[in-house]
Structure 1
Amino acid sequence: MTADNSIFIGKSGKDESLMLKLANRHGLIAGATGTGKTVSLQILAEGFSKAGVPVFCADIKGDLSGLGAAGSHKDFLEERAKEVGISKTYEYEAFPIAFWDLLGEQGHPIRTTLSEIGPLLLARLLELNDTQEGVLNVLFELADDEGLLLLDFKDLRAMLSHVAERSSELSTVYGNVSKASIGAIQRRLLVLERQGGEQFFGEPALDIRDFMRTAPDGRGMVNILAADKLMTSPRLYAVFLLWLLSELFEELPEVGDPDKPKLVFFFDEAHLLFSDAPKALVEKIEQVVRLIRSKGVGVYFVTQNPLDVPETVLSQLGNRIQHALRAFTPRDQKAVRAAAETFRPNPDLDTERTITELGVGEALVSTLEGKGIPSVVQRTLIRPPCSRLGPINQSERRSIIQSSAIFGTYERAKDRTSAYEILMNRAAETQRLEQKHRDKEDRYADKHGEPRKGRSGFQLPDFGRDDRSRRDSRERRSRRRSQRDTVLEAGLKSAARSLGTSLGRALVRGLMGSLKRGN
């Protein structure tokens, strides 16, 4: 189903194909529930894999797991193969796949560190308002400046307490830090933890190169994210996909327009990415989608309604597969008109009317051709998949996971020294030095006959000394304590700043606030 330079999609009056050289110009698969979007995604994933292009996709319903098993004979599949003219070459086959799961239950665990995800996406995940997001930005700035790695939730909690303790000091340097905002962030963190979000943060962090592997036979690996349970936390799902997109953008080198993509990325349930997203975030998404093409990455949005995708992003999606839409409401009718108007007109086809009449497995198709010009829209019969229609069973899934070349790489979490340990050690060291100074002061008082302090902190009676002598003694102790405290504080602050300066200079954040690892 894949020629040397294109992927066969289906048949209209002619073969409809997606040119590999133009596949990084992004795309859209849209249509109402049950009209065939998942099958269209499946056949594109098969085509890219056969061409040696790795694929990432989220499996919302579990059906895409069938890519890992060969299809079985079904009359309607054989009939469709005959209708689109591929009956002689149509064969059932399995494709190389890797299962991933943020919850670590149905695939290799996916983790990233809080330092790497950055404040912008974390604020989106925690649903913070502008004031709370400002405090979170201060926290990350301070952590970067002082070389404090934020790996997981315990690091973030320790850092929130640290910022609260230093709020007055930090407000003069970084801007206002409200303790009320810190409390709100802590409460949102608790909610996210109960939703299972804590498992996404930690180490070992995902190496993006593990999404870009090929099988020994040269076919691209199809990376499938188990998202059925994840969809109960739609904000976590959306932020994860945005983080992954930003990681690809920041980590991959510029390649221009390659003969085929380095990776193809499918965003299923794309409306979740933009729902209630602030304008600043939508602008950054639009910028990443526009620029990531030169990294050799094709981004394909999968959604029910084209209106789910902002116009600034929609205008960049050159390859389109539009399944049926139903025009029952004014908004539905607007969506039909909007979808029809985005296609290059076909004088022999009433595009707006046809969208409402398409059957299951039919779509309006327009792909880029020649010099990147969209082809005339055509009513197309979508070809049948070669892999299984429907999910594989749990036994098959376990076998695929355990036979993976990366099995064991991410399965066990690691916990190295980070902000939590550093702040705890710093507090313990400060307490130890203060106790040492108190003990030394007591010994000095004993040696010189000066009054000591009792355990309650009150000065013990000093009968037989006149008021002036006692006053002079107190002043000498006060000067010594002040000098020692100044030296201690200066030493701790100097060490922290030295560490922060040496590490902080190396910390550079990208377009969406994620940490650039290579700097």
Structure 2
Amino acid sequence: MTEGVFIGGGGPDHAVPQYLRFDMANRHGLIAGATGTGKTVTLQILAEGFSAAGVPVFLSDVKGDLAGLAKAGSPEGKLHEPFLKRAGIIGLDLVYGAPPVVFWDLFGEQGHPVRTTVSEMGPLLLARMLELTDVQEGVLNVAFRAADDEGLPLLDLKDLRALLHWCGQNAQDLSLRYGNVATASVGAIQRALLVLEEQGGTHLFGEPALDLADLMAVDEGRGRVSVLAADRLMRSPRLYATFLLWLLSELFETLPEVGNPEKPKLVFFFDEAHLLFDDAPKALVSKVEQVARLIRSKGVGVFFVTQNPADVPDDVLGQIGNRVQHALRAFTAKDQRELARAAETYRANPAFDTAEAIAAVGTGEAVTSMLDLKGVPGIAERTLIRPPASQLGPVTAEERSAVMAASPVAGRYDVAVDRESAAEMLAARAAGAAAEAEKALAAEPADDGLTRARRYSGARSFGGAHSPGGAGTGQRIGAAMTDALAKELKGTTGRRIVRGLFGTVFKGR
């Protein structure tokens, strides 16, 4: 195995090979540059290189161009001659080929459906997705805690809606147990869920949930490349960013510690990374920085792909060791300041001015700096990026369908499963409570020898003074419900769900 992914040629006349070392790939990376400067090709060649070394890759395809990874390039294409010329300059023997690719799609249209459960997403990331206030996030945390304590599985948005409805009905009782639950906040969360459903969030939640093993597979010695179709998903940027952050947190919570492996267990590309940090609360950015710092010991390398390094907070940027900087345009005073700031993050090369090089590199060229054997950033190099071995550009719908039909996960996620969960359990509980109430009311002696027709309103799970039958009857029903709840809690508190750093379900190591 070579020492790393071959990036291209640097130095005088672009004759010095530039590598991203496999044993330093879990120190994370940055691919930055203005639109049209070659970031997509850089992402593509890195995915090819890691796959060839047996390292699985996950990436999002924002524009549809990266689907070409599934098809080998061709000497018949119009880019063959320019690619052949570039390969000659950097000393590359250009051989076309394609890594094993699996297409995924949140909406199940351009790839296999990818789902998680509401419980696995957790309250923190869900609050971020719904753009909740601190107070509303607090109420959502109470709802999740109540669901955990009472053994109510939250699988899809239907379950979460039913749980919030139940919380609103029993706000007073829940407030005594967990803290204030304002019905106005419950209503606001319900409205936010409506917006999420309109954006397509319903497709994200449900079963069968994504098995991380399907992203980390090696097929015949080559790492599987998982390509998430994100062109439609990008219309809901908060949903896109939160989903990828959830996936990153799942990897963090699930994978065991491996220290410093010879090569990463998975490389994760976060395209349009600025969406992760736009308007993000400080607490969330702090957790992202914490994950970026700790997940490298799990053998996962994270590459942030964005237009400008300034899109990534300094605390996160400080965790990044490998950098590929395509051209930055400096048309305004702000652009010039950001260009100078980007240049300051590189070790100076006496052969050229770094800031001038970043502004001047052409399409397919970049200023690079990779970690060396000791983990020290290399000096800046003007690097001519190697041509990809797979097709540059999208595939046809027929070609995509053929890849999906031959996929190793074909049929595993295609049909949604709706098993009994919180919505059904709460409905059954309400029906049982209504039946018990009807029975209790029917057992009371009739007034003045006459039988009164009584019906359970179903307005609240816990009885009260205003329940049908007067204060005495309401108190008896309330006491019975309280006893039933106490018995249920005795059996469920011991199996309370443990949640990790992001509030996602902790699966152990």
- Whether 2:237 is the aligned partner of 1:239: answer no
The one of 73, 81, 90 equivalent to 2:87 is 81
Q: Following the alignment from structure 1 to structure 2, what is the Cα–Cα distance between the partners of residues 330 and 319? A: 27
Q: Which residue of 1 aligns with 2:449?
A: 451
- More displaced, 375-384 or 484-493? 484-493
Per-residue deviation at 1:172? 2.1
Per-residue deviation at 1:423? 0.7
**Per-residue Cα deviation, 1:337-394 (whole angstroms, up to 9, x for no partner):** 1110001111111001111100000000110002100111100111100000101111
| Structure 2 counterpart SS, 1:373 | coil
Q: Which residue of 2 aligns with 1:41?
A: 43
Q: Following the alignment from structure 1 to structure 2, what is the Cα–Cα distance between the partners of residues 180 and 200? A: 26
Q: Which residue of 2 aligns with 1:60?
A: 62
Per-residue deviation at 1:509? 0.6
Per-residue deviation at 1:40? 0.4
Q: Which runs of 5+ in 1 are unaligned?
A: 458-476
Per-residue deviation at 1:482? 7.5
The within-5 A match list for 1:162-311 is 162-216=166-220, 218-311=221-314
- More displaced, 378-387 or 174-183? 174-183
Q: Following the alignment from structure 2 to structure 1, what is the Cα–Cα distance between the partners of residues 486 and 179? A: 22
| 8 A contact 1:167–1:177 mirrored in 2 | yes
| 8 A contact 1:26–1:316 mirrored in 2 | yes
Q: Highest CA radius of gyration, 1 or 2? A: 1
Q: Which residue of 2 aligns with 1:470?
A: none
Q: Which residue of 1 aligns with 2:115?
A: 111
Q: Which residue of 1 aligns with 2:142?
A: 138
- RMSD over aligned CA atoms reads 1.8
Distance 1:346 1:382, change over 3 A: same
Q: Following the alignment from structure 2 to structure 1, what is the Cα–Cα distance between the partners of residues 258 and 168? A: 45
**Per-residue Cα deviation, 1:419-454 (whole angstroms, up to 9, x for no partner):** 111111111001111112222335xx5xxx963442
Q: Which residue of 2 aligns with 1:465?
A: none
**Per-residue Cα deviation, 1:151-173 (whole angstroms, up to 9, x for no partner):** 11111111111111111122222
Per-residue deviation at 1:178? 1.1
| Structure 2 counterpart SS, 1:369 | coil
Letter in 2 for 1:513: G
| 8 A contact 2:441–2:454 mirrored in 1 | no
Identity %: 58
Per-residue deviation at 1:141? 1.1
How many residues end up aligned between the 2 structures? 488
Per-residue deviation at 1:17? 0.4
Letter in 2 for 1:510: G
Letter in 1 for 2:81: D
The one of 479, 486, 496 equivalent to 2:488 is 496
The one of 497, 500, 506 equivalent to 1:510 is 500
Q: Which residue of 2 aligns with 1:363?
A: 366
Q: Which runs of 5+ in 2 are unaligned?
A: 456-468
| Structure 2 counterpart SS, 1:384 | coil
**Per-residue Cα deviation, 1:128-169 (whole angstroms, up to 9, x for no partner):** 111111111111111111111111111111111111111112
- Whether 2:315 is the aligned partner of 1:317: answer no
Q: Following the alignment from structure 1 to structure 2, what is the Cα–Cα distance between the partners of residues 432 and 397? A: 54
Q: Following the alignment from structure 1 to structure 2, what is the Cα–Cα distance between the partners of residues 265 and 378? A: 24
| 8 A contact 2:136–2:189 mirrored in 1 | yes
| Structure 1 counterpart SS, 2:268 | strand
Q: Which residue of 2 aligns with 1:464?
A: none
Distance 1:40 1:480, change over 3 A: closer
Distance 1:79 1:152, change over 3 A: same
Q: Which residue of 1 aligns with 2:390?
A: 387
Q: Following the alignment from structure 2 to structure 1, what is the Cα–Cα distance between the partners of residues 454 and 21? A: 81
Letter in 2 for 1:389: L
| Structure 2 counterpart SS, 1:430 | helix
**Ranges of 4+ aligned residues in structure 1 off by more than 3 Å:** 449-453, 477-487
Q: Following the alignment from structure 2 to structure 1, what is the Cα–Cα distance between the partners of residues 431 and 501? A: 38
| 8 A contact 1:107–1:401 mirrored in 2 | yes
| 8 A contact 2:438–2:454 mirrored in 1 | no
| 8 A contact 2:8–2:386 mirrored in 1 | yes
Per-residue deviation at 1:456? 6.9
Q: Following the alignment from structure 2 to structure 1, what is the Cα–Cα distance between the partners of residues 368 and 74? A: 27
- Whether 2:10 is the aligned partner of 1:4: answer no
Q: Following the alignment from structure 1 to structure 2, what is the Cα–Cα distance between the partners of residues 203 and 191? A: 22
| Structure 2 counterpart SS, 1:302 | strand
| 8 A contact 1:146–1:503 mirrored in 2 | no
Q: Which residue of 1 aligns with 2:17?
A: 15
Q: Which residue of 2 aligns with 1:28?
A: 30
| Structure 1 counterpart SS, 2:379 | coil
Letter in 2 for 1:307: A
Letter in 2 for 1:25: R
Q: Which residue of 2 aligns with 1:126?
A: 130
Q: Following the alignment from structure 1 to structure 2, what is the Cα–Cα distance between the partners of residues 210 and 433? A: 47
